[in-house]
């Protein structure tokens, strides 16, 4: 099924526990058309837990039913690949939230389209379900009400950072811990930054980081070090 104009605010399931994970039901008849249809799904896996979802192996469970009859379901006949348009090496927002979402439109090759060539995709791999039971969501979908803007109050051009560098240390100190729990360690982090031209660099203190930064031999004990010429 080519599910164009699918309400994006309805596709994300509410938070739940692995032991009783929530599932959603949708009426697909408004999206079907006469003849051949295609069903394409973008699966998002964060690899680590946060305050909304616990860490679990990646996977997708879906069924297409007509009444009590199951017309199709996810199995090894499905095809899969890692998307090139959604970047995976992105900074994590915080311990409460998952990672930033970076979408590169130039790498979106139209995989949702009916005539898309998926001959290079690999068969899906069947994995054990991490959830002992699935239950229907206990809260309704978002309403999806569209409120158009009435006027523009202000506008400005934003200049993003030329380079944003982020380092996650937890996989090095606790490689088997994929939860959102804190990992307190006593260690030194040493790095060397080289630039061909003098420029401003901002050092942002990590969460619950109490020690001082040392930059060019000088201590910096502010919660956020001011831009420093290098």
pLDDT for the residue 4: 38
Task: Assess whether 49 and 97 both reside in one domain.
Answer: yes
Q: Does residue 148 lie in a domain region?
A: no
* 178, 137: one domain: no
- pTM metric for this prediction: 0.70
C-alpha closest to that of 15 among 137, 180, 144, 143: 137
Are residue 79 and residue 32 in the same domain, yes or no?
A: yes
Range of the domain at 63: 1-141
Nearest CA-CA partner of 141 in 33, 25, 45, 47: 25
Which pairing describes strands 63-66 and 200-204: parallel, antiparallel, or unpaired?
Answer: unpaired
Name the residue with higher pLDDT: 77 or 13: 77
Residue 154 lies in a domain: no
Q: Are residues 27 and 131 in the same domain?
A: yes
pLDDT band at 9 (very low <50, low <70, confident <90, very high): very low
Which of 191, 189, 186, 211 has the alpha carbon at shortest distance from 201?
191
Of 182, 206, 165, which is closest to residue 50 (Cα–Cα)? 182
Give the pair of three-digit tokens for residue 230. 């290098």
CA distances from 143 to 8, 9, 14, 150, 217 (A): 11, 9, 15, 21, 56
Name the least confident of 31-35, 68-72, 76-80, 211-215: 211-215
Tell whether 33 and 125 lie within a shared domain.
yes
Residues 38, 87, single domain; the answer is yes
In this prediction, residue 121 carries a pLDDT of 95
* CATH number assigned to the domain comprising residue 58: 2.60.120.260
For 29, the 3-state DSSP assignment is: helix
Q: Has residue 144 got a pLDDT over 90?
A: no
- The reply to whether 191 and 113 lie within a common domain is no
Residue 1: per-residue pLDDT: 37
What are the C-alpha distances in Å from 229 to residues 89, 113, 161? Answer: 28, 50, 15
Q: Are residues 6 and 100 in the same domain?
A: yes
What's the total number of domains in the chain?
2
């Amino acid at each position: 099924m080519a599910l164009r104009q699918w309400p994006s605010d309805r596709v994300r399931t509410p938070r739940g526990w692995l032991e009783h994970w929530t599932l959603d039901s949708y009426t697909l008849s408004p999206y079907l058309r006469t003849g051949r249809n295609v069903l394409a799904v973008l699966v998002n896996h964060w690899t680590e837990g946060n305050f909304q979802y616990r860490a679990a192996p990646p996977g997708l469970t879906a069924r297409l039913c007509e009444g009590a009859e199951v017309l199709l379901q996810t199995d090894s006949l499905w095809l899969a690949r890692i998307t090139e348009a959604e970047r995976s090496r992105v900074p994590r927002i915080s311990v409460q939230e998952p990672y930033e979402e970076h979408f590169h439109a130039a790498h979106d090759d139209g995989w949702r389209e009916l005539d898309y060539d998926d001959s290079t995709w690999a068969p899906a791999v069947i994995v054990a379900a991490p959830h002992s039971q699935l239950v229907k969501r206990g809260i309704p979908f978002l309403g999806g009400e569209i409120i158009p803007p009435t006027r523009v109050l202000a506008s400005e051009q934003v200049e993003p950072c030329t380079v944003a560098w982020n380092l996650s240390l937890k996989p090095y100190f606790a490689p088997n811990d994929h939860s959102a729990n804190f990992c307190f360690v006593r260690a030194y982090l040493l790095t060397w930054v080289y630039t061909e031209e003098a420029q401003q660099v901002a050092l942002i203190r990590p969460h619950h980081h109490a020690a001082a930064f040392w930059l060019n031999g000088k201590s910096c004990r502010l919660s956020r070090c001011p831009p420093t010429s290098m």
